[in-house]
Chain A
Amino acid sequence: MIDLGVPYSQIILAAEQTLYMVFISLAIGTVIALILSVVLVLTNPSGILKNNIIYSLVNTVVNIIRSIPFIILMVFILPLTKMIVGTRVGTTAALVPLVIFIAPYLTRLFENSILEVNKGIIEAAQAMGASHFEIVWYFILPEARGSLILSVTTGTIGLIGATAMAGAIGAGGVGDLALTYGYERLNFPLMLFTVIVLIIFVQIIQSVGNYFSAKVRGH
């Protein structure tokens, strides 16, 4: 075993923190994004529930949040974080800005995935007497599934990048390990190691995403 200058337990803890932050915020963000993207598609000017007010509102909020860099967003919403999880620092505290960061991002990706669904399918659904909920549930979401999975994959990889910055509020994680021990202590082997770990994370996530997306579209 090579000496990385930090105990292995610390590396494992950092990996766990990263996975924890990524998957919890991803799960919450995905649910929020699904709802918002469906709202956007239904209420857009050519949607089946065209509604300018709701569409503009959601669209604007998504755009505003998307235009704030994550590191600034994180410190900007500290009071909100404190309100929601009771603390401003630590891994759990990082979940709040991560969700707020990833939800609008996924919303945009999902919106595109859903817009790819053939309009004729929605027309067929209407002709069958489907309700608006049924159109979303039985027609739009199943048809968009393959594309939605790829969107989640892209979102997840974006999240890993964001978690590296969460170290700024003491959230830990692989990125933080690389910065505080690798960069600040000039520990190049550790830096290299974390970079490799992150590359492996991303590769695995992308492969899993591709696999499932191909599986649901593979006919």
Chain B
Amino acid sequence: MTGQRLPARVLTYWRIRLLLFCIGPAMVGGFLYYTKASWFTIWTFVWMAVFLLLCFVYYPMYYHFYHYAVSDRMVRVSRGVLYNQMDAVYIRNVQYTTLSQTPLQKLMNLASLRLYAAGGVIRIAGLNYEEARLLRVQLGRKMEVEHGEHSDN
């Protein structure tokens, strides 16, 4: 089972999403600028540092370590920078699937696929939309095959 990478533009998507999240801290900074100027400097320095760290260090590393693989019987996702974690689920245990797209993901032709299994959920975020759609259909077929085999036994 060889791992597959997410499309490269997912990195841009994560960065834009982070930039949108920064509107909140920036507004707090603006408020502090007019009320407590000394706090404004500290606050801006902190959130800018976190932003730069996430944007140029954490996300590229996260992207580098993120792999997913789909075999005939199993779906596996491995990720993590500080702690490496691997989630795996047998296709026979998958109960239903959800494909979702936020407006930003739609703009960048990306999608997230969630696989709900008995006992847990596996999420593959930032897939190419077409690929996610095909994967969902393929998984649906495999689920039916596995179910048929299981009920025959």
Are A and B a genuine interacting pair, yes or no? no
Residues of B within 8 A of A (CB): none
Interface residues of A (CB under 8 A from B): none
